[in-house]
Amino acid sequence: MGSASREATVASRAALAGVGAKVDLTLAEQLFAAGRTIGGSLQLRTLLAEPAGDAAAKKAAIAAVFGSSLSATAVSLLETVTASRWSSVDDLLAGVEDLGLRAAAQSSNSSAVVIGELFAFGQTVTSNPELELAIGSKLGDPASKAALVDALVAGKVSGQSAAIIRHLVQQPRGRRIGRLVSDAAATVADQAGQVIATVTSAATLSAAQRTKLQKGLSARYGKPVTLNELIDPALVGGVRIAIGDDIIDGSIATKLAELRLQLAG
């Protein structure tokens, strides 16, 4: 993301913060829908993403396309987003999606629940090749993908998670399902002032181990940590932890590999 897009992102998030109590799941869904509409129209996304474009023309386009279908709050946020300078069309779409994700997170009673549901959906899909193909195929119809998601998650996840997943599969922007849910979960966590630690272990952690790990990581990073737990028997023992770009690898498999390298040298 270029510097222009970073500045635009800051301005967009500030605008969302200014909405206050008006942030709800409906607003999130409207922002997601607007992002898909923009992404699906070459003329519209070219106009709105043009750095040197006329601000009045952009505002008029937003009013013409969305004025009768979206809330005044959603329209105002879109005007703020498109008034900023973005480095690329994809960055603009990412900016709209970011606001939708943050609105969904803010409207939830538990960001941790949403994060867990997103990762669980991702694991369900990636563990089933046929399902992953149906959802991830570039040739698939977005509406059909949304219907498939509804069939999979109806009554099983929160409204926030369902709205997020439904949007992501319709507008993946070149990302595979694993990346889609991890990006979305990271944004939800950030909105809640949390970070996500992906913890890979050879066996399921006990409640005591999980609590100890969360407390230790929260103290280290200065904010609450939500765990995304994965099982990989190949690790033999210990855990591998990934938080952002940080990797903490205490697995026995890694230690054995390091030892073999030392002996070989």
42 and 61 inside one domain: yes
217 and 258 inside one domain: yes
34 and 72 inside one domain: yes
Between helix 42-49 and helix 89-107 the angle, nearest 10°, is 90
Domain end (from 162, 191, 220):
191
Tell me how far CA of residue 65 lies from CA of 57, 61, 68, 221, in angstroms: 12, 6, 8, 43
Count of domains in the chain? Answer: 3
Alpha-carbon distance of 61 to 164, in angstroms, equals 26
pLDDT of residue 162: 96
Percent helix / strand / coil, the chain, rounded to 5? 65, 10, 25
61 and 148 inside one domain: no
11 and 80 inside one domain: yes
240 and 217 inside one domain: yes
Tell me how far CA of residue 231 lies from CA of 38, 177, 180, 241, 242, in angstroms: 39, 19, 20, 12, 14
pLDDT of residue 265: 61
User: Are the beta carbons of 106 and 191 closer than 8 angstroms?
Assistant: yes
231 and 148 inside one domain: no
Domain end (from 191, 213, 245):
191
46 and 119 inside one domain: no
Nearest to 189 by CA among 240, 245, 228: 228
156 and 210 inside one domain: no
pLDDT of residue 256: 72
pLDDT of residue 58: 94
pLDDT of residue 249: 86
pLDDT (tens digit per residue) in 135-148:
988 888 999 999 99
38 and 134 inside one domain: no
* Domain coverage including residue 228: 195-264
pLDDT of residue 3: 83
103 and 14 inside one domain: yes
30 and 102 inside one domain: yes
Pick out the chain residues at pLDDT < 50.
none
Domain end (from 47, 79, 107):
107
pLDDT of residue 223: 93
